[in-house]
Amino acid sequence: MAGTDRTRGEPGALGADAPIVILVRPQLGENIGTAARAMLNCALTKLRIVEPREDWPNEKARAAASGADIVIDGAVVFETVDQAVADLHWVAATTARPRGMIKPVFTPLAAANELRLRALDGQKLGILFGAERSGLDNEEIARADVIITAPLNPAFSSLNLAQAVLLVGHQWFAATDATAPVELPMGKTVPAEHGDIDRMMAMLEDGLAAGGFFASPDMRPVMMRNLRALIHRAAPTDQDVRTLFGVIKALRKAGPAR
């Protein structure tokens, strides 16, 4: 999925109220960078970093962010999780494993819906991501309002930091995005009018009859109905139907293959 169209605008809707991503004790600058890239993929721009192991600002982070400079430049470093969430109204903690804590566990999708409702209410929101290997500790999770755990292969559920950010961030983006589940882009053409399809089918039927396609007259309506179903499944455009007229004509003109 390469390709970024920089001429298209930022998706606006909830940008100002989008959740803050809080990386807790990230070990490598590079991982902060790839997480920043995943954030910007999902229109998340506000990054807080608690106790990074490497110095900040960090050039490896900037390089790994692949152009997500807006996230890197705006990142703020905190000494503790408590300080990083002090001004937030609602905080979710991401974990891979159950932690034996009586706290609601949301899927990324359910969390995105909750985040969206709270963002519309003007609340300041945060999502905590733990260190690459160890994750968040229980004291840190206890400070969150809810837990987010992505449903993943239980026998192989370990994600790197950027992937965890992407899974949660993408649901946030999708929850605030109006993309239809399925779209059929028509470009400059339009679907064929049914009358044109009918004329094309009649021309086809003539040719098939002339070529001895119908073994028995009984089968003729059934076979034509099946061919018509095929054509309608293909949802032909105006241009497609003109092309098919030409195809039928050319095949008749070609005569039998020797």
Minimum Å gap between C-beta 151 and a second copy is 4
Closer CB to a second copy, 152 or 219, in the complex: 152
Distance CA 228, CA 241 (A): 13
Per CB under 8 A, the list member of 6, 194, 233, 253 interacting with a second copy is 6
Region from 20-28, 47-55, 79-87, 168-176 binding a second copy, contact rule CB under 8 A: 168-176
Minimum Å gap between C-beta 229 and a second copy is 17
In 32-99, beta strands by DSSP E = 47-50, 76-78, 90-94
145 token code pair: 């309002």
DSSP per residue over 186-230, as a string?
A: -TT--BPPHHHHHHHHHHHHHHHHHTT--SSTTHHHHHHHHHHHH
DSSP per residue over 157-180, as a string?
A: ----HHHHHHHHHHHHHHHT----
- Per the CB < 8 A criterion, the answer to whether 146 and 111 are in contact is yes
Is residue 189 a contact residue for a second copy (CB under 8 A)?
Answer: yes
* Among candidate residues 134, 149, 121, 173, the one with its CA nearest the CA of residue 53: 134
Distance CA 94, CA 146 (A): 9
Distance CA 66, CA 69 (A): 8
Closer CB to a second copy, 191 or 207, in the complex: 191
| Binding residues among 138-157 for a second copy as defined by CB under 8 A | 149-157
Using omega within 30 degrees of 0 as the cis cutoff, is the peptide bond preceding 191 cis? no
| Binding residues among 206-235 for a second copy as defined by CB under 8 A | none
Per CB under 8 A, the list member of 47, 131, 144, 241 interacting with a second copy is 131
Minimum Å gap between C-beta 40 and a second copy is 5
Closer CB to a second copy, 58 or 95, in the complex: 95
Per CB under 8 A, the list member of 85, 119, 166, 244 interacting with a second copy is 166
Closer CB to a second copy, 129 or 224, in the complex: 129
Per CB under 8 A, the list member of 55, 79, 139, 182 interacting with a second copy is 182
* Among candidate residues 25, 154, 131, 96, the one with its CA nearest the CA of residue 105: 96
Cβ neighbours around 127 below 10 Å, total: 26
- Counting every residue written for the chain, the total comes to 258
Region from 33-41, 46-54, 76-84, 116-124 binding a second copy, contact rule CB under 8 A: 33-41
| Binding residues among 49-108 for a second copy as defined by CB under 8 A | 66-68, 94-98, 100-107
Is residue 181 a contact residue for a second copy (CB under 8 A)?
Answer: yes
Closer CB to a second copy, 13 or 77, in the complex: 13
